[in-house]
């Protein structure tokens, strides 16, 4: 049986009831046991349209004999039963279920049936879990010992870093010009946060935002990922640049 860490969230309708029903539905997934569930955490919405209601977030630790892709299909089916529509990443939702970790596996791009237009395919570990406090706080209640395989940090270690590190972010890339542009944008959008250029010789910032491909050197790449990290695509035009800037600002808000 594999250990699977699941994040739950809701900010539409009767959120408490929705999450209670979701926990029950998790117990009914074939070949799966719900081992531990967290308490409910109230959090502000991040990155989406203004005027959204407050989220309730939670986490669950499962033991399962299902492979990751099949487990993700089951999670999507539970979302669909709660009338979740997968259209836009940051939209309000009746229920959101994310597969955060599946033992120490690393998977990039497998597609689960019924993923919908919002789906990025199966990515494990979840690509944004390492810097999202609203994900890590409930996750640390149920699986503090689970290790994020890309960073090699535990769930508790990631959360402790976000809570205790200096309130700074570091922007890095193989392109110095891309770093200059994004760092300038973040400095204006997030005035309460110190914005630095990434330097592996300096103490680790609360969050590292990396643009484009990771360094080809294995050691350098591991250093970038060694902690809360948001890896974003290198924009090719103004439209993509605006989308990346929006994502970077949301990452800063989630980490701080």
Q: Is 84 among the residues known to form the active site?
A: yes
Look at the alpha carbons of 82, 23, 128, 116 in this order and tell me if their dihedral is positive or negative.
Answer: negative
Q: Is 98 among the residues known to form the active site?
A: yes
CA pair distance 71, 21, nearest whole angstrom: 18
CA pair distance 122, 70, nearest whole angstrom: 10
N residues, the chain: 256
Catalytic-labelled residue, pool 37, 84, 132, 133: 84
Tell me whether the omega of the peptide bond preceding residue 125 falls within 30 degrees of 0, making it cis: yes
| Of 102, 94, 157, nearest in space to 131 by CA | 157
Catalytic-labelled residue, pool 15, 98, 128, 133: 98
Residue 114, token pair as written in the block = 């019924």
The residue behind tokens 């924009």 is 235
Catalytic-labelled residue, pool 15, 16, 35, 96: 96
Catalytic-labelled residue, pool 15, 37, 93, 128: 93
Q: Strands 107-110 and 96-102, how do they pair?
A: unpaired
**Helix, strand, coil share (%) of the chain residues, nearest 5:** 35, 25, 40
CA pair distance 157, 136, nearest whole angstrom: 10
| Of 188, 98, 174, nearest in space to 138 by CA | 98
Catalytic (active-site) positions: 84, 93, 96, 98
């Amino acid at each position: 049986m594999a250990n699977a860490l699941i994040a739950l969230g809701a900010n539409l309708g009767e959120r408490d009831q929705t999450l209670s029903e979701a926990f029950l539905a998790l117990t009914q997934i074939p070949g799966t046991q719900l081992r531990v569930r967290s308490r409910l955490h109230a959090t502000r919405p991040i990155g989406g349209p203004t005027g959204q209601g407050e989220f309730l977030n939670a986490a669950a630790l499962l033991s399962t004999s299902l492979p990751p892709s099949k487990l993700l299909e089951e999670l999507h089916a539970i979302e669909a039963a709660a009338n979740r529509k997968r259209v836009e990443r940051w939209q309000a939702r009746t229920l959101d279920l994310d597969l955060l970790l599946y033992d120490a596996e690393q998977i990039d791009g497998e597609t689960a049936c019924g993923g919908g237009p919002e789906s990025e395919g199966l990515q494990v570990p979840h690509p944004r879990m390492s810097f999202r406090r609203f994900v890590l706080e409930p996750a640390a209640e149920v699986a503090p010992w689970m290790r994020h395989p890309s960073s090699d940090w535990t769930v508790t270690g990631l959360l402790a870093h976000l809570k205790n590190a200096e309130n700074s972010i570091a922007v890095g890339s193989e392109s110095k010009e891309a770093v200059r542009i994004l760092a300038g944008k973040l400095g204006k959008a997030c005035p309460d946060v110190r914005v630095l250029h990434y330097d592996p010789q300096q103490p680790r910032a609360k969050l590292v935002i990396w643009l484009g491909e990771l360094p080809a050197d294995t050691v350098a790449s591991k250093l970038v990922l060694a902690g809360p990290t948001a890896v974003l695509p290198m924009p090719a035009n103004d439209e993509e640049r605006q989308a990346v800037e929006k994502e970077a600002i949301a990452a800063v808000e989630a980490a701080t």
